[in-house]
Amino acid sequence: MSFDTQRVARLAMIGLAAASLAACASRPKPQGPVAPTQPAPTQPAPSYPQPAPVSPQPMGAVPGSVQDFVINIGERIYFATDSYDVTPDAQAVLQAQAQWLNRYPAVRVRIEGNADERGTREYNLALGARRANAVREFLIGAGVSASRIESLSYGKERPIDPGTGEDAWAKNRNARTAITDGAR
């Protein structure tokens, strides 16, 4: 096709498009209600069972519940290798735990000390006990009654992450504050 033929074809297409648009634009818009194009059905529409209304659930956990403690406060802190020193990050979590426990004086807890898989069973049980006691002493120092706190060591017997390597070991070096009684 030559240049002139292509140009004529384009102009013809543009003209057709313009004519189509003009035809649409000149059509009057309907005024008032429009009559239905199909007759109304003679049979009633089928009836489906309606679901029972659902009452809205509150967002978040119930204050004073185990879920509230776990989600909003945090139940676990982590330790460095062969250490039971409470780090500044862990202190912030433990301070929040103490405030929560002081707000709900009927709640009792068990501090569970844990270790990674390295070392002997006996060594890790002792390290887990030192970690649990470090958390217990912190909470007592923050005003939580000692009679509400028990401590226990699992050593390396209950890993969070069964993997082998630093990422797994870091998760397993922890102390967990587990609510045992009195939560809502």
Whole-angstrom Cα distance, residue 75 to residue 130?
Answer: 17
Extents of the domains making up the chain? 66-181
Listed residue (57, 68, 99) closest to 183, CA to CA: 68
| Dihedral angle sign, alpha carbons of residues 4, 10, 13, 15 | negative
Instruction: Say which amino acid occupies 111.
Output: I
pLDDT at 21: 47
Whole-angstrom Cα distance, residue 103 to residue 61?
Answer: 16
| Cβ neighbours of residue 140 closer than 8 Å, sequence gap 6 or more | 146, 149
- The series of mean pLDDT values per 10 residues for the chain, 184 residues long, is 55 52 50 52 49 49 95 97 97 98 98 97 98 98 98 97 96 98 94
pLDDT at 52: 46
Q: The whole model's pTM is what? A: 0.68
Whether CATH 3.90.1150.10 fits 66-181: no
Specify which residues 174 forms β-bridges with.
78
Residue 139 φ/ψ, nearest 5 degrees: -65, -40
pLDDT at 99: 98
